[in-house]
Structure 1
Amino acid sequence: MPGGTDAVQTGEPYIETAVDYDAILLAGFGGPEGQDDVIPFLRNVTRGRGIPEERLEEVAVHYRHHGGVSPINDQNRELKAALEAELAARGIDLPVLWGNRNWDPYIRDALGEAKERGFTKLIAIATSAYSSFSSCRQYREDFAIALDETGLYGEIQIDKVRQFFDHPGFVTPFIEGVGDALAKIVAEVRDVDLAADVEILFATHSIPSTDAVRSGPAERGFGEGGAYAAQHLAVAEVIMEAVKTDLALDREIDWQLVYQSRSGPPSMPWLEPDINDVIAELPAAGKRAVIIVPLGFMSDHMEVLWDLDNEATESAQEAGLYSLRVPTPGTHHEFVSGLVDLVLERRNGTPQSERPAMTDLGPWYDVCRPGCCENVRAGFKPTLAGLRP
């Protein structure tokens, strides 16, 4: 855990002592901002994995369709501005720095800015809500790499807010979105019976099964899908219960967790079922409409715009289904406010018992537990904000 604050060095799962952070690090995935950036960006994302160039060219089509520009950087600029506005409205003096894992500005650039501005204790918000290697541990590895590359170990410390999959700020926008989508179906689909005619698909990025089973602490015993699948399922259940109450529904609406954006070789098992396969089967089950909920995503980046708005929507059209895609949280006020609340939890040392969580799985840990989200293919790498595997 070198590189974290003294509070994190204790290894306790929840940090309930105040820490005087002097800046927030918004850590993004990154994305290309022009046609010439696309292949270099994809090489960054897949470095060390031996992905052939022809496979990169296949994925590049998604970005080239949008002018070689991923929306994710602009979305992070908007989120940064929204966080700054919320902090200012509350009278909280915490500057927001922004750095990406895979494209400009990099995390190391944000650390350079922190050095120039005299910031020494950063609290990081990673732009992913769930537990897995790619959505949590890899960010923590990259924090350690960036400190090493910049020579700032011992000068700058980085902690990280907890995974926020079940924080009200993240969940509330989805509850609203599903409710709005159901209301629109009632208004636009003739003689619709929500319980009989509608299927709600909660979509998230598929990951290798070997990564999934290692997501979250092993002692929690989450099973084959690990904490990654368990967290998504728990949040989906909360959303469906809230929608049923809000709309005063007398029957359950069918729903399931589906996966998208698989990128591995056929020989490697990944989490299933694929969203397009599920959509193709819905007419035979008597469904007339499908609602797609991008539950695994914070904003409308490429996997949402291409894999859901293009591919999944086309699958629904081919199946003769009326389809709607629910918005991601983006800069929804509840989401932005919730992220600030997560920062204040750590700054103020809020006790675990006072932290909001909408599922029985949370509140999640401040300090990741041993072996959490380990990637056996990539091998051990030093991380921050967690214990050694």
Structure 2
Amino acid sequence: MTITNGEAPGYVRAATPAASAGPEHVEEPVAYDAIILAGFGGPEGQDDVIPFLRNVTRGRGIPDERLEEVAHHYRHFGGVSPINEQNRQLKAALEAELAARGIDLPVIWGNRNWDPYLAEAVQEAHDRGFRTLIGLATSAYSSFSSCRQYREDFANALEQTSLGDELRIDKVRQFFDHPGFVTPFVEGVRDALAELADRGITGSEIRVLFATHSIPTADALRSGDRTVDYGEGGAYAAQHRAVAEVVMREAGSDVAWELVYQSRSGPPTQPWLEPDVNDVIEGLPAAGVKAVVVVPLGFVSDHMEVLWDLDTEATETAEEAGLIAIRTPTPGTHPAYVRGLVDLVMERVNGTPTGERPALTAYGPWFDVCRPGCCENVRAGFKPAIAGLQP
């Protein structure tokens, strides 16, 4: 029998009894005490920028001189990433929605890379007498950085606080195709196309670009259930393509669209998902395109990758190409999105049968408990993680 990290395969670390054996979907009600809202984190002043970037790149040996090359994105905005304030607003919106429904579930917020850290949130939960927690990560898709790393963050928090024997933490499923997440994008595309139509621009004169964060190709191929062939780009790209198709259909449009990537980093020799949003924009005039609608499909809020890579760089590229550019909103605190997040929590509270869970693509509803080997980090390998079968 193979042993991973001292545990037999099939074990789900720190899970509630309903999830510990690793069913794909947990259809047994669980009485949770609180919600842990897990965010990426971001600097809130110029002095925070380099320490924050050290946290983001920890273990990679990147010198401060190279980090400063990235820091100018944050320096441009006064050293402040909007992501922490956005999570404060999301936390407040979730609390209001829970209160309106009469649901007694406190929301405790913690980050991966900046204060308040996730270990502090876990310690706060324990100090307040909570023992059974449901994790809600601010990321919708399947990949290492958007799913498994959050699962590792929770495991790290239990390790740092020495509370692994006292707390049980499950996690809501990835919600890329949940109506609450998709609805704001549908509205954004519909509104953008209507605005362009009012300006006399329609049909083939428009291109819709669905933008998401690029990731290493090797990591993309390992995203999702390792027993399934999702095609080029793994589950990560397949999920985005499927959601983009839903958005265009629900928006009632046959305008041409494309999935594009942004924010790549790493050495040039390392393959990352392409094409880059700026490269695609540069080539649109030759195809007779007059306007581009940029949809930040991979993002839940207007954080730095949206403000800099789309609102600054991609917009400048469009202007240089002589194109009209409209960037549609992210979900943020859109009422449908907030309701959807609470619905995802309540699926686990109520043990909602799989067939009754909303999902707008053939890939959903996604797993409550991640499959073995899901979203491996090629560089670092497997580390302890909650809410998934080992490894």
Give the TM-score normalised by structure 1.
0.97
Unaligned runs of 5+ in 1: none
**1:1-389 pair list within 5 angstroms:** 1-187=12-198, 189=199, 191-192=200-201, 194-244=202-252, 252-389=254-391
> Aligned letter for 2:333?
T
CA distance in 1, matches of 2:94, 2:251: 28
SS at 1:159 equivalent: strand
SS at 1:169 equivalent: helix
SS at 1:357 equivalent: coil
SS at 1:230 equivalent: helix
Report how many residues are paired: 380
**Deviation string for 1:12-53 (max 9, x for gaps)?**
110000000010000000000111100000000011123232
Unaligned runs of 5+ in 2: 1-11
Q: Are 2:13 and 2:388, in contact at CA under 8 Å, matched by a contact in 1?
A: no
Q: Are 2:208 and 2:257, in contact at CA under 8 Å, matched by a contact in 1?
A: yes
Deviation at 1:200, TM superposition (A): 0.2
SS at 2:237 equivalent: helix
Deviation at 1:186, TM superposition (A): 1.3
Deviation at 1:58, TM superposition (A): 1.0
**Deviation string for 1:199-218 (max 9, x for gaps)?**
00000000000100000012
CA distance in 2, matches of 1:37, 1:77: 18
SS at 1:324 equivalent: strand
CA distance in 2, matches of 1:219, 1:56: 37
Give the TM-score normalised by structure 2.
0.96
> Aligned letter for 1:265?
P
Q: Which has the higher helix share?
A: 1
CA distance in 2, matches of 1:379, 1:10: 23
Name which of structure 1's ranges 369-378 and 308-317 shifts more when overlaid on structure 2.
Answer: 369-378
CA distance in 2, matches of 1:158, 1:260: 33
Alpha carbon RMSD of aligned pairs, Å? Answer: 0.8
